[in-house]
Chains A and B, each alone.
Chain A
Amino acid sequence: MHGLILILIVSLFFGGIVVKTKSICAGRKGPGIFQPLKDIWRLIRKGAVFSETATILTRIAPSIYFASVLLAVGCIPFGNVRGLLSFQGDFVFFAYALALGKFFMIIAALDTGSSFEGMGASREAHFSMLAEPAFFGVIGSLALYTGRTSFLDIFTYLHFGNYLSYALGSVMLIILVILTLIENSRMPVDDPNTHLELTMIHEVMVLDYSGFDLGLIQYTTNLKFAMYAALMANLFTGTLRALPDILIFLGTGFLLAVIVGGVESFTARLRMGRIPQFAFSLTSYALLLFLLVLFITGRFS
């Protein structure tokens, strides 16, 4: 249960740290860590303006998006303590719950009938489609390595073997980081603070949202970041007791925010045509990882 609380805490300050690192890299002082949280709180209390062509779907989509991410978060174990939901193959539920959220956001974007949101929806659908197999590849190699098929068992048995599992963990970390960047459409894939609708992906999908729904969506993006941070943390917790686990969790969350901020400050956005190759390269990395695992577990005699 406390895994869930930890992730919620990380999600609160995650947005602030990213903005903080970017402003420090740009030499500015930048707003406080909890500034995004205050914005969200302001939005939640404000009224909303809806487009005339929008149907009821626009109104219910953000709530379902948040609910699905919340359920996905519930699946993640914390150290050797099982998450809210833990069963054989819960990572399938994890991935498909996220997909449900995305599905609703895409059709909500199409609902307003504006060409910008259509463009955003189309890009979002394509990139998530290309990136999704990577997640399954990673989990597949983990399952093959540990011989188990649920999050809790995988992460607890991950470090029984020899030291190689940590090398394995680091390769997986890199893949998961890139996956986070694509899923939440951060810098290499999309520039969050651009103002030209034609280049946006994620921001343009929520162009017509305001008030409570906009606040909810922004909080959900932070929550997703925290979720991926928790996933990465699990790679390293292994069989440690509770206290160091909490530290590691918060540490990875902080570290991920700094990395995201850093990447955003120093790299430019990829050309729209190159993004599919970038997204699909993840799947080939996952396959490579799988071969590595096959080799490690000596099955390739």
Chain B
Amino acid sequence: MDEIALKLLPLVVAMLLGSVLIALVETKLKSLFAYVVLVIIVIGSSVPAIRALAGHPLEVIIKNPQVFGDIPIRIDALSGWFILIINLTMLTGGFYGIGYLKAYRKENTNLSLHWILMVIFHLSMLSVCVIQNGLLFLIAWEIMSLSSMLLVIFEHYKPETLRAGLNYLVQMHLSVVLLTLGVAGLYLQTQSFDFSSAMQLDNAAILPLFILLFLGFAFKAGFMLGFIPLHTWLPHAHPAAPSHVSGIMSGVMIKIGIFGILRMILLFPLSKTGYLEIIGWIILGVSLASGLYGVMLAIIQHNLKKLLAYHSIENIGIIGMGIGLGCIGLGIDNPYLSAAGFASALLHTLNHSLFKSSLFYAAGNVYRAAHTLNLESLGGLFRKMPHTALLFLLSALAICGLPPFNGFISEFILYGGLYQGSLHARPVGALLLILTILGLALIGGLAMLCFTKAFGIVFLGKGRKPLPESDWQEGPGNLIPLYVNSGLILAIGLFPATFVKFLSAPLALFIPNFNLSFFNFELLDNLQQVSRATVGLLAVSLIMLGIRYIVTHRTVQEVAPTWGCGYNGGAERMQYTATSFVRMYRKLAAPVLLVHRKNVEFPEIFPHEKRTYETHPEDALEANLIDIPIDLMQRFLSFFRFIQNGKIQNYLLYGLVFLFLIGLLSWSKLI
């Protein structure tokens, strides 16, 4: 056990002790103390991660002969990158959590459980990135899902939160089942739990195991694989969770699914099987579908957090496209393509965790101020919380991939890769790639529609319903995480080359003979130009604002009611609402979407009560691919209700019937 391991062990033990102490600290200091524990974990884990990214990975073997065999702890560049993302989001999430949970000061036990789970959740995510022993990986994976489920049901007195938590638990269990099958199959082939043993897998076994593990990880990532809806837990779990938890979960826990897929692509000798290119195409197609599906459903949602949750599916689609492109590049061994693909995937994981978590924190502020997230009853919040509004706008721009921000950079690299691919691929490949480009552009457009609606309806215009009196104020507690994230978003947007340089180490893992100079020449120089463009955009707009100020500050500026064609009754109810804003889209996308409309018509000529019109967006895939099979199974199970009906005669009859049945079966040689 070399000295690094000695250093690791006390860290883990100290953290577990720390988390126990949280329960004892009295309420006011509890959140702060827990945050200090989190910070210590962040520091402790970032050091090896940065050293791994800088090029020398860490490997520790722990012996446990009976159950696990030897447990390798490896921190290589890929896990280093993901550890940094986790730590960053945990820092901002934890800080925001302190502010957010002030309102729950009176529920002491609930708070201490919450913060202990937060520490366990953080530790389990780090261990998932680090552990390379199959069985222990499964245990860490499940602890992660379990602790996140318990974090989600923080407001457990609401029945729908419990239902969402339970739905989430079962879906995560399915993910573990798939992973268990994969690991068990792996063990059968190679007699050892060590992931790196997957190298000697023989050809026949690679594909089924890869598919099993891929499905398991895709569950957590929230892919929508055509007829296998793995994403349905996202839109239920996120609205139910408190904002800082949903921020952390969608910011980083989904990425652990992506990490799993990347780790598998790294470990499984797919190139040996020759299927790598086809797998790449499948992943690309699937991610495009889930990207489109995610954003198409996000647009028609009424609940702000549900909208953001569906949007996470879209961004996972974009990351998936990067991975798919990378695999295709590896398949036809075109280094530029694979570098572009994996670089865009890795960078987009960082970008998404930045802007998605700040969007959720902003949604948390909205919830604190308006006690509701229903878009139909929000509006005009800009006055009440200008900082949050502007930072929400900044993240919304970033998520749509618009230039001066980080979303644009990863999509730019992806576009570069897709175009490069279409140049060299076979005709059919070129056609498919162009279709992906068109899809990606359409996703960009749809994202813009979705976020103009979200930002415009929530923050601008007049309030659609009177705001409940709430003593919540915009303070440093709930703004600093947003500012930190926005600062990073802008920094990556303006100076992409410095950040993409970090990616060279993880990329070297993926691309076999990866020469750094090629990477610098092709990708980094181009990004230098891009940074000149984005900086130019920012400079020009600032100059224009300066000119505008010089020209207009002397002229008279008056304020008057909005132009209403002469109608000057209150405009609150005349404003465009969220549903009306996307009505044209809903008509266009009607076949894909499932929207229930309740329409109360005027019963008689002179109507007494008012006419109401309600729409409830449903997830079409979830409705008929999950709900219908479940209640079919339910009905099938209820046929067998008669067994335990209390009569002694029947109880004895079952014994005889069983005897007779087995006699018949063995007589007819069936058994």
- Which of A74, A93, A107, A130 contacts B530 (CB under 8 A)? A93
Complex interface: chain A residues within 8 A of B652 (CB):
none
CB distance from B375 to the nearest CB of A (A): 13
Q: Mark A284-300, 1 if CB is under 8 A from B, else 0.
A: 00110011001000011
Cβ B548 vs Cβ A143 within 8 A? no
Contacting pair A114 B575 (CB below 8 A): yes
Report the bound CA distance from A98 to B416 in whole Å: 19
Query: Would you give the shortest CB distance from B386 to chain A, in whole angstroms?
Result: 8
A-B contact pairs, 6 of them (CB 8 A): A67-B543, A89-B526, A93-B530, A96-B408, A118-B576, A129-B445
Q: Is A136 a contact partner of B448 (Cβ separation < 8 A)?
A: no
The yes or no answer to A97 lying at the interface (CB within 8 A) is yes
CB contact between B559 and one of A52, A122, A136, A213 (< 8 Å): that residue: A52
Q: Complex Cα distance A130/B442, Å?
A: 7
Say yes or no for B171: interface residue by CB 8 A criterion: no
Q: Which residues of A, 85-133, contact B by the 8 Å Cβ criterion?
A: 85-90, 92-93, 95-97, 99-100, 102-103, 106-107, 110-116, 118-119, 121-123, 125-126, 128-130, 132-133
Chain B residue total in the interface (Cβ 8 A):
85
Closest-by-CB residue of B relative to A215 is: B551
Answer whether residue B460 sits at the interface, using C-beta atoms and an 8 A cutoff: yes
**In contact, B419 and A130 (Cβ under 8 angstroms):** no
Q: Do A87 and B574 touch across chains, with their CB atoms under 8 A apart?
A: no
Q: Which of A2-10, A55-63, A177-185, A253-261 forms contacts with chain B?
A: A55-63
Cβ of A147 under 8 Å from chain B = yes
Contact B541 A96 (CB under 8 A): no
A residues touching B (Cβ–Cβ < 8 Å)?
Answer: 44-57, 59-60, 62-64, 66-68, 70-71, 74-75, 84-90, 92-93, 95-97, 99-100, 102-103, 106-107, 110-116, 118-119, 121-123, 125-126, 128-130, 132-133, 135-137, 140-141, 143-144, 147, 149, 197, 207-208, 211-213, 216, 276, 283, 286-287, 290-291, 294, 299-300
B185 within 8 A of A: no
B576 touches A119 (CB 8 A): yes
B33 lies within 8 A of chain A by Cβ: no
Set of chain A residues within 8 Å of B444, measured between Cβ atoms:
96, 99, 132
Contact A110 B416 (CB under 8 A): no
Residue of chain A at shortest CB distance from B540: A67
Contact of A111 among B426, B461, B536, B580 (CB under 8 A): B461
Known: A111-B461, A113-B571, A125-B453. 5 other contacts (CB 8 A): A55-B386, A92-B416, A93-B403, A211-B552, A294-B431
Given contacts A71-B537, A287-B434, contact A100 B403 (CB under 8 A): yes
Partner of B400, one of A54, A70, A103: A103
Chain A's closest residue to B565 (CB) is A197
Contact with A along B411-448 (1 / 0, CB 8 A): 11001100110110011001100110111111011101
Known: A87-B529, A93-B533. A136 touches B545 (CB 8 A): no
Q: Specify the chain B residue showing the minimal Cβ separation from A290.
A: B434
Q: Give the nearest-CB partner of A114 in chain B.
A: B562
Question: B24 an interface residue at 8 Å Cβ cutoff?
Answer: no
Asked whether A53 and B445 contact (CB < 8 A) given A71-B536, A107-B455, A143-B423, the answer is no
Q: Which segment of B48-56, B206-214, B582-590 sits at the interface?
A: B582-590
CA distance A88 to B416 in the complex (A): 8
**Distance between B247 CB and nearest chain A CB, rounded to angstroms:** 23
Cβ of A129 and Cβ of B442 under 8 Å apart? Answer: yes
Q: Chain A: which residue is nearest B527 at the CB level?
A: A87
* Residue B397 CB within 8 A of the other chain: yes
- Look across to chain A and name the residue whose beta carbon is closest to the beta carbon of B561: A52
CB pair A129 B448 closer than 8 Å: yes
The 4 lowest CB-CB distance pairs between A and B, nearest first, are A118-B576, A129-B445, A110-B456, A113-B461
Which residues from chain B contact A126 at a C-beta distance below 8 Å?
449, 584-585
Least CB distance, A247 to chain B, in whole angstroms: 29
Q: A122-B584, A132-B441, A300-B427 are in contact. Are A55 and B446 (CB under 8 A)?
A: no
Please determine whether A51 and B548 come into contact, CB atoms closer than 8 angstroms. no
Chain A, residue nearest B539 (CB):
A67
Which residues in B have some Cβ–Cβ distance to A below 8 Å?
379-380, 382-383, 386, 389, 393, 397, 400-404, 408, 411-412, 415-416, 419-420, 422-423, 426-427, 430-431, 434-435, 437-442, 444-446, 448-449, 452-453, 455-457, 460-462, 526, 529-530, 532-533, 536-537, 540-541, 543-545, 547-548, 551-552, 555-565, 571, 574-576, 580-585, 588
A56 to B446, CA, bound (A): 26
Q: Given A48-B555, A97-B403, A118-B581: A287 and B560 within 8 A (CB)?
A: no
A124 to B151, CA, bound (A): 41
Residues in A whose Cβ lies below 8 Å from that of B571: 53, 113-115
Instruction: Report chain A residues within 8 Å CB of B460.
Output: 53, 55, 57, 107, 110-111, 113
Question: Closest Cβ of chain B: how far from A270's Cβ, in Å?
Answer: 14
Residue numbers in B under 8 Å from A46 (CB-CB): 555
Rounded to whole angstroms, the CA-CA distance of A141 and B434 in the bound complex is 9
CB–CB B584/A87 < 8 A: no
Q: Which residues of A contact B588 (CB under 8 A)?
A: 276
Question: Is chain A's binding surface mostly helix, strand, loop or mixed?
Answer: helix
Bound-state Cα–Cα, A50 to B557, Å: 7
Contact A53 B548, beta carbon cutoff 8 Å: no
Q: Are A64 and B574 in contact (CB under 8 A)?
A: no
Distance, CA A198 to CA B559, complexed state (A): 25
A53-B462, A99-B400, A133-B442 known; A90 vs B533 contact (CB < 8 Å): yes
Question: Could you say which residues of chain B place their CB within 8 Å of the CB of A86?
Answer: 529
Give which listed residue, A44, A110, A294, contacts B457 with CB less than 8 A: A110
Cβ–Cβ contact B402 & A106, under 8 A: no
Residues of chain A lying within 8 A (CB to CB) of residue B551: 44-45, 212
Q: Which residue of B lies closest to A68 (CB)?
A: B537
| Chain A CB within 10 Å, residue with most, of B537, B580, B588 | B537
Q: Pick the most buried of B461, B551, B555: most chain A CB atoms within 10 A of its CB.
A: B461
**Residue among A70, A102, A123, A147 making CB contact with B423, cutoff 8 Å:** A147
Q: Which residues of A contact B419 (CB under 8 A)?
A: 89, 140, 143, 149
CB-CB nearest in chain A for B544: A63
Q: Which residues of B contact A141 (CB under 8 A)?
A: 434
Give the residues in chain A near B446, CB-CB below 8 Å. 129
Q: Is the CB of B562 within 8 A of A47?
A: no
CB < 8 Å neighbour of B456 from A107, A276, A287 = A107
| A51-B562, A53-B562 as given contacts; A87 in contact with B575, CB under 8 Å | no
The distance in angstroms between the C-alpha atoms of A141 and B456, with both chains bound, is: 36
Complex Cα distance A126/B434, Å? 22
Residues of B within 8 A of A118 (CB): 456, 461, 575-576, 580-581
Q: Whole-angstrom distance between the alpha carbons of A130 and B582 in the complex?
A: 13
Which of A63, A103, A207, A300 lies in contact with B448, CB distance below 8 A? Answer: A103
B529 touches A85 (CB 8 A): yes
Return chain B residues, CB-CB under 8 Å to A110: 452, 456-457, 460-461, 576
B400-A125 in contact (CB<8A): no
Q: Is the CB of B562 within 8 A of A290?
A: no
Q: Shortest Cβ distance from A17 into chain B, in angstroms?
A: 26
Q: Is the CB–CB distance between A299 and B427 below 8 Å?
A: yes
Residues of A within 8 A of B532 (CB): 85
B454 → chain A closest CB, angstroms: 10
Is A71 in contact with B456, judged by CB distance below 8 angstroms? Answer: no
Nearest to B415 among chain A residues (CB) is A92
- In the assembled complex, the Cα of A53 lies from the Cα of B118 at a distance in Å of 41
User: Inside 8 A of B422's CB, which chain A residues have their CB?
Assistant: 140, 143-144
Q: How far is the CB of B222 from chain A (nearest CB, A)?
A: 24
Alpha-carbon gap, A97 to B403, bound state (A): 6
The chain A residue sitting closest to B417, CB to CB, is A89
Per the bound structure, the CA–CA distance linking A291 and B445 in Å amounts to 24
Taking CB atoms, residues of chain A closer than 8 Å to B533 are 71, 75, 85, 87, 90, 93
Contact A112 B562 (CB under 8 A): yes
Chain A residues whose C-beta falls within 8 Å of the C-beta of B526 in the assembled complex: 87-89
Q: Which residues of B contact A44 (CB under 8 A)?
A: 551
User: What's the nearest-Cβ distance from chain B to residue A225, in Å?
Assistant: 19
Once the chains are docked, how many angstroms separate the CA of A135 from the CA of B565?
Answer: 37
Least Cβ–Cβ distance between B587 and chain A, in angstroms: 8
Cβ-closest chain B residue relative to A141: B434
